[in-house]
């Protein structure tokens, strides 16, 4: 019964399913369009909508002149956060696709024998090739739940954005006319609670064309789930004495309300074509060059892919000494241009080039077991960091004031800082050979750095089967 349920779940995941909404822009759409206040259109009475881009007073989305410069800054903050989160979520590393069994030709016997007693690393690549006319097929299942972004918890409301009142109500001066009349000095705080999980089945196939050359393919099938709640709070910096000008319930003094949006998507992710060529192999030492070509086959609008082509070129060095086998990788990932315009026409970074490095050690406690440890590093060039910074909110002294604005107490909001972003993950795992050329694997991934989008622990389970003459 358990096997039947597992197979049924796998088949359900492989069939693409439409999601409720495009996941790539679900968060900014909820923050910038989904928060609504109660009331009518008369600015002197409770009135609705004026902290959002979708405002009934104007019959639809705001023009840039109606949002104003401060409003555009708020849109930029939200869209930039979303861009950095989506690009890293869809580009989370999968396990190594190298076969666990590698072979070399023994001229003394005229047969192929295993070239290593180790079953290889879990995430670092090793330089040994499969062997001529050898093939391996495998599958990894990876579950990831993301917990923080930019060092801030995704669930406790510490990631917050501040939306200014729309410049809409001055009868004498065309918008933008910030804080005139005075009740436009109220702000909206949007604190986030985001639950994001991915479940990926990655199918691998590798073939030894010659003793030196391997080719392979990795095809991921991914399920993404995104649940977002915005804890909205009206900050009555200007209308404290006129509490019902901005409220979430007509005729009632309500300043907090939750707004939610969720969606899921399933389907093929970005397919990876791979090749590895052995440059040097003597005794227990080996050096190889490799190329991975990532194709934009996944739906980037629903976080199933990154939306552009990537080429990763890297060098692999491996050795074996007794029960230990160390491996080192170093390379560079060149990314296509991708989408440089985010939601609401805001310029974004998109997908970055990367400097890639990894190191790992395999330990062989028994012939049927290999214990692995890896460190995987990525430097995302120009990706920048998104971290909390202190800001001040401008407002007038009261709801009828037309005097110069004053600054309120400091608040913390995520802001983009240009530069590179360094992401480092650790991994620990075990590989077990129960019979023949079948290999079972299990690993955990955990972050060493706090920047960017990260999970506490990711789990990877897999199976690898070798074939050949």
pLDDT digits (tens, 9 = 90+) for 333-344: 999 877 777 877
Task: Summarize the confidence of residues 72-101 as an average pLDDT.
Answer: 80
Indicate if the pLDDT at residue 246 is higher than 80. Answer: yes
Task: Summarize the confidence of residues 124-151 as an average pLDDT.
Answer: 90
pLDDT at 410: 75
pLDDT at 374: 94
Task: Summarize the confidence of residues 459-468 as an average pLDDT.
Answer: 88
Q: Helices 64-89 and 26-33, interaxial angle, to 10°?
A: 150
Name the range with the highest mean pLDDT among 168-182, 237-251, 437-451: 437-451
DSSP at 304: S
**Cα(339)–Cα(223) distance, integer angstroms:** 22
- In the chain, where the domains are located: 2-468
Share of the chain above pLDDT 70, in %: 80
Kindly report the CATH number that applies to the domain delimited by 2-468.
Answer: 2.40.160.40
Partners of 54 in beta bridges: 61
Tokens 């082509």 -> residue: 309
Tokens 């909390």 -> residue: 388
Indicate the Cα dihedral angle 64, 69, 73, 74, nearest 10°: -70
Cα separations in angstroms, 292 against 39, 271, 300, 313, 375: 56, 10, 19, 7, 19
Task: Summarize the confidence of residues 242-246 as an average pLDDT.
Answer: 76
Indicate the Cα dihedral angle 458, 96, 201, 131, nearest 10°: -160
Query: Is the N-terminal amide bond of 181 cis, ω within 30° of 0?
Result: yes
Closest CA to 147 of 195, 91, 114, 84: 195
pLDDT at 46: 55
Tally the C-alpha atoms within 13 A of residue 159's C-alpha that lie toward its C-beta.
28
Q: How far is CA 300 from the centre of its chain?
A: 11
């Amino acid at each position: 019964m358990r096997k039947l349920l597992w197979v049924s779940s796998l088949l359900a995941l492989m069939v693409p399913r439409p999601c409720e909404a495009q996941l790539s822009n679900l968060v900014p759409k909820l923050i910038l369009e989904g928060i609504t206040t109660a009331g009518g259109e008369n600015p002197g009475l409770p009135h609705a909508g004026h902290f959002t881009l979708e405002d009934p007073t104007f019959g639809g989305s705001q023009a840039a002149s109606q949002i104003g410069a401060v409003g555009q800054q708020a849109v930029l903050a939200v869209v930039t956060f979303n861009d950095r989160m989506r690009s890293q979520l869809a580009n989370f590393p999968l396990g190594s696709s190298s076969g666990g069994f590698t072979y070399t030709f023994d001229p003394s016997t005229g047969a192929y024998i295993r070239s290593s007693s180790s079953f290889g690393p879990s995430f670092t690549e090793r330089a040994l090739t499969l062997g001529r006319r050898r093939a391996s097929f495998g599958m990894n299942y990876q579950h990831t739940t993301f917990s923080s972004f930019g060092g801030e918890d995704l669930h406790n409301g510490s990631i917050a954005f501040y939306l200014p009142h729309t410049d809409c109500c001055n009868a004498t001066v065309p918008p933008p006319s910030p804080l005139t009349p005075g009740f436009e000095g109220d702000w909206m705080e949007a604190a986030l609670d985001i639950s994001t999980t991915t479940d990926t089945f990655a199918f691998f196939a590798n073939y030894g064309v010659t003793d030196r050359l391997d080719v392979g393919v990795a095809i991921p099938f991914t399920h993404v789930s995104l649940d977002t709640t915005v804890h909205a709070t009206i900050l009555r910096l200007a209308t404290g004495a006129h509490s019902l000008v901005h409220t979430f319930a007509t005729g009632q003094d309500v300043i907090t309300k939750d707004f939610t949006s969720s969606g899921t998507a399933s389907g093929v992710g970005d397919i990876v074509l791979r090749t590895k060529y052995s440059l040097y192999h003597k005794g227990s030492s080996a050096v190889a060059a490799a190329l991975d070509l990532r194709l934009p086959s996944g739906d980037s609008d629903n976080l199933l892919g990154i939306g552009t082509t990537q080429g990763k070129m890297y060098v692999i060095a491996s050795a074996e000494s007794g029960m230990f086998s160390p491996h080192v990788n170093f390379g560079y990932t060149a990314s296509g241009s991708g989408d440089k315009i985010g939601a609401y026409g805001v310029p974004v970074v998109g997908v970055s080039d990367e400097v890639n490095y990894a190191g790992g050690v395999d330990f062989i406690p028994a012939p049927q077991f290999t214990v692995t440890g890896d460190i995987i590093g990525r430097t995302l060039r120009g990706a920048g960091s998104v971290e909390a910074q202190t800001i001040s909110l401008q407002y007038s002294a009261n709801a009828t004031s037309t005097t110069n604005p004053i600054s309120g107490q400091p608040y913390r909001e995520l802001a983009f800082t240009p530069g590179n972003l360094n992401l480092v993950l650790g991994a620990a795992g075990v590989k077990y050979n129960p019979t023949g050329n079948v290999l079972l694997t299990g690993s955990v991934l955990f972050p060493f750095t706090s920047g960017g989008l990260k999970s506490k622990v990711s789990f990877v389970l897999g199976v690898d089967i070798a074939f050949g003459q």
